[in-house]
Amino acid sequence: MVKSHSIHVCRECGTNSPRWVGRCPGCGEWNTLDEERQVAASKSAVPLQTTSLRDVSDDAAQCTSTGVGEFDRVLGGGFVEGSTTLLFGEPGVGKSTLALMTLRALAQAGHAVLLIAAEESPAQVAQRARRLGDVPDGLDVAATTNVADAEQLLRERRPTVAVIDSISAMSDDTLSSVAGSVPQVRHAAERLCAVAKSTGIALVLVGHVTKDGELAGPRALEHLVDTVIRVEGDRHGTLRLLRAMKHRFGPTGEVGLLEMANEGLRELPDAALKLRGADLDVPGVVVTVTNDGSRSLLVEVQALVASGIGSPRRVAHQVSSQRLALLLAVLEARCTIDTSGADVFVATAGGLPASEPGVDLALALAVASAVQHFAVARTMVAVGEVGLAGELRPVTGLARRVREAHRLGAEAIIVPAEGELDETPGLVVHRCRSLAEALMVARNGTL
Ligand code: TYD
Ligand code: MG
């Protein structure tokens, strides 16, 4: 027998209360309690059985390819039967496009798929689908925001893969909390995840994030789902990254690279990020090689230093502003490169995020090259973490970074003195102990 009762949950801190109260007993905030339905199964008459792990078959490896190579890459092959994947990102980044591309490719491959559109009408979805190319047979859409209807449809149709776009718009009208509130979204996700598990449907939930990058509903869905994929990218740029933040069936941290084009998201071969020719050398631009998942990417760091009026401005785009502040201080203290009083702008070309410590050296060199008006050859790549004493610290995965930089067209690379490297014939490796040494190499091509 299944009993159901309501509790009230604070949307700020998650504290439960059996009754509605005006002030949360946990965090003291006013009017933050929402009703949540709890379904509790009564005691089962059959005693619980145990199973030897040796006898449990390991069929979790059964994956359905998404048909989008870069998506498969972050998922470690594709969707696992009965699993739930949360696809989240800022509005306009391309979640609906990616979800539709995936369903289209799956339908083309003969899989049963279903899109539950909670935000757009079938006509709007069809318009988007036509932009992607021919619309295959079996690419079915149902428009609803009602979680019970969605649940019933999933049970009846039992598609291989279903997408709910978006989970934030799904609600249960028997709950008193407003549609879109944390308890509604969590309740809807819980019910739909349970359907996925019991029917074997691979379910994709599309989720929104607020401006500060939090999942709408303070990370309320992350623990419910098996996999969390973030779609990253600058909405005004074309580059998009897929990143596995949580993955029950494979490694996390893997990145996929896509490019937003007129006909949807295109897979981006690494070669597209190859180094461009030396004729483009300008002061303030230094290329680095990052370590992201099992991938190394060439990222161009750009700096502009201008005489400011009034209090100096520091603007960092896609790199950490704290790191920038620290590096400006190190440049001043250890290399006598003074930017106090000047406006400093730094960014990465194409909007690729570069937030790991290995980017430090390129960032510092880019600023130095902008201040001192010398150009660093584009075929010279720099990687290393910069310490407060101006020393160059070792970075993770140095050998792979160097290999990849070489493969993508680097002719020389500045690296920290420590760290194992393979032989790379044709690539000049400059080992430097400090930022000051690296600066000398960047300026003169040698120590
Ligand atoms: P969308 O998938 O709707 O974003 P989200 O679901 O994350 O909010 O895509 C948003 C942008 O992508 C939109 O501004 C239009 C653009 N776009 C293209 O450039 N090409 C395309 O083929 C499609 C479908 C969308
Ligand atoms: Mg959308």
Domain CATH for 387:
3.30.230.10
Task: Answer whether residue 54 is part of any domain.
Answer: no
Mean pLDDT by 10 residues, the chain (447 residues): 68 80 86 73 69 73 86 92 93 93 95 96 94 92 96 96 94 84 88 95 90 58 91 83 88 84 82 55 90 82 88 90 96 95 89 86 97 92 96 94 89 94 91 97 90
Nearest CA to ligand 1 atom 11: 92
d(CA 367, CA 344): 8
Instruction: Read off the tokens for 337.
Output: 């490169």
* Cβ of 131 below 6 Å from ligand 1: yes
Pairwise CA distance, residues 295 & 289, whole Å = 10
Cα(325) to centroid of ligand 2, in Å? 36
| Residue 51 falls inside a structural domain | no
**Looking at the domain assignment, is residue 11 inside a domain?**
yes
Ligand 1 pocket, residue 400 CB under 6 Å? no
Same domain, 345 and 255: no
CA dist list (Å): 90 to 4, 42, 435:
35, 41, 37
- Residue in 98, 131, 135, 260 to alter for ligand 1 test, most ligand atoms within 8 A of Cβ: 260
Nearest ligand 1 atom to the CA of 99 is 2
Q: Which of the listed residues 241, 268, 295 is the one where a domain comes to its end?
A: 268
Q: What local confidence, expressed as pLDDT, does residue 332 receive?
A: 96
pLDDT at residue 52, as a whole number: 86
H or E segment and range at residue 431 = strand 428-432
- The residues that bridge with 113 in the sheet, in sequence order, are 139, 161
C-alpha closest to that of 8 among 142, 150, 175, 162: 175
| Same domain for 150 and 35 | no
Contact 251 CB / ligand 1 (< 6 Å): no
* 91 in contact with ligand 1, CB cutoff 6 A: yes
CA distance 146 to 169: 9
Q: Could you identify the atom of ligand 1 that is nearest to the CA of residue 262?
A: 20
How many angstroms is it from 32 CA to the middle of ligand 2? 28
What are the C-alpha distances in Å from 404 to residues 140, 274, 297?
A: 42, 10, 8
Domain check: are 248 and 291 in the same one? Answer: no
**Ligand 2 center from residue 307 Cα (angstroms):** 42
425 Cα to the center of ligand 2, angstroms:
48
Do 228 and 131 reside in the same domain of the chain? Answer: yes
Domain that holds residue 386: 273-444
Ligand 1 contacts CB of residue 69 (under 6 A): no
Residue 41 C-beta-side C-alpha neighbours within 13 Å: 3
pLDDT at position 15, please? 80
Ligand 1 pocket test: pick from 97, 98, 101, 130 the residue with the most ligand atoms within 8 Å of its Cβ.
97
261 and 291 assigned to the same domain: no
- Closest ligand to C-alpha of residue 89 is 1
Tell me how far the alpha carbon of residue 98 lies from the centroid of ligand 1, in angstroms: 9
Q: Is residue 162 part of a domain?
A: yes
Is the beta carbon of 442 within 6 A of some atom in ligand 1? no
Ligand 1 atom at minimal distance to the Cα of residue 128: 24
Domain shared by 93 and 23, yes or no? no
H or E segment to which residue 295 belongs: strand 295-307
- 313 CB-near residues (< 8 Å, 6+ apart): 343, 344, 345
How many CA atoms lie within 13 Å of 395's alpha carbon, on the beta-carbon side?
A: 30
Indicate the burial class of 57 (C-beta count within 10 angstroms; 0-12, 13-18, 19 or more).
exposed
**Whose alpha carbon is nearest atom 22 of ligand 1?**
264
| Residue 130 Cβ contacting ligand 1 at under 6 Å | no
Same domain, yes or no, for 106 and 26?
no
Q: Return the ligand 1 atom nearest residue 89 CA.
A: 7
Say if CB 201 and CB 219 are below 8 A apart.
no
- Predicted structure pTM score: 0.77
Distance 165 CA to ligand 2 centre (A): 7
Tokens of 30: 């006013």
Q: Is 257 in the same domain as 293?
A: no
In a domain, 47, yes or no: no
Distance 210 CA to ligand 1 centre (A): 18
C-beta of 87 in contact with ligand 1 (< 6 A) = no
The reply to whether 26 falls in a domain is yes
Ligand 1 centroid from CA 235, angstroms: 9
Asked whether residue 84 is assigned to any structural domain, the reply reads: yes
Kindly state if the Cβ of 94 falls inside 6 Å of ligand 1.
Answer: yes
Q: How many domains does the chain contain in total?
A: 3
- Domain end residue (candidates: 248, 268, 288): 268
The predicted pLDDT at position 43 comes to: 55
CATH number for the domain including 226?
Answer: 3.40.50.300
Distance between Cα 73 and ligand 2 center (Å)? 22
| Residues 171 and 300 both lie in one domain | no
Write b or e for each residue in 185-211: b if 16 or more Cβ atoms lie within 10 A of its Cβ, otherwise e. Answer: bbbbbebbbebbeebebbbbbbbbbee
For residue 120, the ligand closest to its alpha carbon is 2
- With a 6 Å cutoff on the Cβ, whether 93 touches ligand 1 is yes
Atom of ligand 1 nearest to the CA of 90: 7
CA distance 291 to 340: 31
Shared domain for 83 and 23, answered yes or no, is no
Distances (CA, A) of 368 to 84, 217, 254: 48, 43, 33
Q: Is residue 52 part of a domain?
A: no
Task: Please give the distance, rounded to the nearest whole angstrom, from the Cα atom of residue 131 to the centre of ligand 1.
Answer: 10
The CA–CA distances, whole Å, from 44 to 3, 39, 195, 199, 387 equal 13, 14, 21, 22, 60
- Give the ligand whose atoms come closest to the C-alpha of residue 240: 1
If asked whether residues 297 and 184 sit together in one domain, one would say no
Residues 102 and 204 in one domain: yes
Angstrom distance (rounded) from CA 190 to CA 233: 29
Q: Which of 268, 301, 319 is the last residue of a domain?
A: 268
The atom number, within ligand 1, closest to the CA of 231 reads 7
